[in-house]
Amino acid sequence: MVVILDGKRLRNKILEGLKFEVECFDKKPSLAVILVGNDTASQIYVNSKKKTAEGLGIESKVYTYPDDVLEDTILEKIKELNEDSTVNAILVQLPLPEHINKQKVINAIAPEKDVDCFTLENTGKLFAGLEPNAYPCTPQGVLFLLDEYGINLDGKHVVVIGRSNLVGRPMGQMALMRNATVTICHSHTKNLESITKTADVLISAVGEVLIEDDMMKDDCVVIDVGISRGENGKIRGDVNFETVSKKVAYISPVPGGVGPMTIASLMVNTVKLYKEQIKRSL
């Protein structure tokens, strides 16, 4: 019988532990978020992050700017936040308008305050097999979910579909660091089905429905990171949950699987950065 990987339950468990931990601190950790433009999805995400942080006793500051804001204005704000000792974690909500150089802005964040592991220094550490200041939120959330259900990646064949810098690439590297054998598939991969059928753990992060039950073996673990909306406006993942869930051993739903874990991971990282900064100041 299939086991549903419940991200909501695990999120609540993690946040409950964090809230207790934060209550014991002498001062509140602080998360600063920069939001540019009027993208509805981004606004929803940022509001959710702020609400979750404040519920834990973490101070959350959101700096909003119009679509036509100058790149230098954003860079100046990041410099200010870097130098502010009361700010422990900095997040720039993506996407950014086209006239702003995303990597330049992200890389302006002090690595020790880079809560998303987006700066070149932290990314470099991750892909060198070293520990970054914080691990990427969504891949880390996936690992939290696997750990909760006792799913060990050591020696397993992990197939990751998607090669984005946000999920696919770091997910593959973090699985590799756990001694998995990793295959990363993407839009140019030939004979995708022949590869997915060999997966012990299948992680899909594409944003369109493409995974059917005939693409995997019976005892597979399926992690659905993808998110999109169907014609009826209903949120869905990359996996045909109705058919796949009848075949595999474990599966994460959309919504309610990886999504809640991403925000939980962001809170874990904020507290981690706070503690490291306190330690360095002693």
Q: Catalytic residues, which ones?
A: 49, 93, 116
* Amino acid letter for position 189: T
3-state SS of the chain is CCEECCHHHHHHHHHHHHHHHHHCCCCCCEEEEEEECCCHHHHHHHHHHHHHHHHHCCEEEEEEECCCCCHHHHHHHHHHHHHCCCCCEEEECCCCCCCCCHHHHHHCCCHHHECCCCCHHHHHHHHCCCCCCCCCHHHHHHHHHHHHCCCCCCCCEEEEECCCCCCHHHHHHHHHCCCCEEEEECCCCCCHHHHHCCCCEEEECCCCCCECHHHCCCCCEEEECCCEECCCCCEECCECHHHHCCCCCEECCCCCCHHHHHHHHHHHHHHHHHHHHHHHHC
